[in-house]
Amino acid sequence: MDTDFNKDLTKDLKLKIDLKLYVNPKNNQDFYPGYKLRVAIGNFDGVHQGHRYIIQKITSGSKESKSMVITFRSYNHSIFTMEQKIEALFNLGVDYVMVLPENIKSIRKDEFLDFLRYFSIELIAVGKDFRFGYQREGSLKDLEKVSYVFESSYILDSSSNIISSTRIRSKIREHSIENSRELLGYTPYIQGALSHGVHRATSLGFPTINIEYPGTIYDQGVYIGAITLYQTSYRKESLSQGITINIGDSIRININEYKFYPYIYNPYIKPQVQSQSQSDFKDRIYNAIIHIGSRPTLRKVDPGSYPVDSRVVEAHILDSSFSMDEIKKEEFKDMYGRFYLLNFLAKEKVFSDEGELKVAISTYVKKAKNFFSLKV
């Protein structure tokens, strides 16, 4: 049954909410509320193994129905940025991702149910003990007033403990990268657009590739890792930016164009010595040491170049055959990096001078090469 765009199901809503809707570019399908939808609702931080079980329930429907995830904003304490979350959900086959604003926490359960009724929903999938609305007043029984509800059971790890985003975040804060990797079902990573630094690391003898700091749960320090570099080479959407759908007087949906990054779903990245020609650097996996932090030593030595609140994610590639000249030839505005975290080496600290910092970096490089069984 098609839904009238102008049908006002929310005229009594007292809360103004502004939603963002992202359309999966792989599907080449514009959004229309009249589609039959299979909907998953939740935070889905990290899109871990338990989340993927829920998502599978909405992506395995008939060709006539579309899948949509209704989720929430990501914050600095999150495993994933919003961009990573959307990308991961799209790679699982989700057609649409709708992002709810912060003030959704104030909406009453009946108002939220009225909002859901605007769509033609044939299934709602949620996690165990899901609650919604102001002060978590809404229950599964309330959701059943809108559609059939699938409640996922708890997903357990190899030790029969529940897999949850809260537990994964705790493991990450404890620097238990291997444990978080097992719970996530893939190698944890940070990604972003490549950015220009001030080349201080190059002067120290350890040139780095930098990405824009995404705001991350990962502790400031040095990690053994691996990186991939790639360019945005995907088509633009036929959907124009700025399209909005108004639902009554209270809800506006902004439909967004979205650049899609290919998600590397190898659950356990296995860094290796590279042997390809140097001109083929994109989409390769490079062993590296990765630094997340504020560069306190360099800020101490040269405070004018490093503001107090500056943060960086930078990687020094261990493969001696890698040439930074190849990167410099590319247009940075189209270049992205995905930095995989494999093992925690050391917390960030302030050294007395650049000489002491250089000695420390040399030690980190040696430990990383031993980790990869590379020639030191």
Average pLDDT over residues 105-132: 89
How much is the mean pLDDT over the chain?
A: 79
- CA separation for the pair 24, 95 (Å, rounded): 5
Average pLDDT over residues 163-167: 94
Q: Report helix, strand or coil for 190.
A: strand
Q: Which residue ranges form the domains of the chain, and what is each CATH number? A: 17-157 (3.40.50.620), 187-233+270-372 (2.40.30.30)
- CA separation for the pair 322, 326 (Å, rounded): 8
Of the two residues 271 and 15, the one the predictor is more confident about is: 15
Check residue 330 and give its pLDDT.
57
Looking at the chain, the whole-number percentage of residues with pLDDT higher than 70 is 74
Asked if residue 22 has pLDDT above 70, the reply is yes
Tokens 């997340």 identify what position? 292
Spacing of C-alpha 245 from chain mean position: 26
Three-state secondary structure readout of 90-113: HHCCCCEEEEECHHHHHCCHHHHH
**pLDDT per residue as tens digits for the range 72-101:** 887 878 999 888 898 889 889 999 998 888
The arrangement of strands across the sheet holding 65-72 comes to 149-151, 120-126, 36-41, 65-72, 96-100, 17-23, 251-256, 243-247
CA dist 105 → 73, 74, 83, 136, 308 (Å): 12, 14, 22, 9, 34
Check residue 329 and give its pLDDT.
58
Q: How confident is the model at residue 154 (pLDDT cuts 50, 70, 90)?
A: confident
**pLDDT per residue as tens digits for the range 183-199:** 998 889 998 888 876 66
Tokens 């190899």 identify what position? 158
Cβ-defined contacts of 343-347 (< 8 Å, 24+): 343/177, 343/178, 343/223, 343/224, 343/225, 343/371, 344/175, 344/177, 344/219, 344/221, 344/222, 344/223, 344/224, 345/221, 345/222, 345/223, 345/224, 345/289, 346/221, 346/222, 347/219, 347/220, 347/221
CB 118 within 8 A of CB 88: no
Average pLDDT over residues 331-336: 65
DSSP state string for 45-67: TT--HHHHHHHHHHHSS-TTEEE
Residue 357 CB partners (closer than 8 Å, separation 6+): 204, 297, 298, 351
Asked if residue 20 has pLDDT above 70, the reply is yes
**pLDDT per residue as tens digits for the range 246-275:** 655 556 666 664 544 444 333 333 444 333
DSSP state string for 195-213: E---SHHHHTT---EEE--
Of the two residues 114 and 365, the one the predictor is more confident about is: 365
- CA separation for the pair 310, 6 (Å, rounded): 47
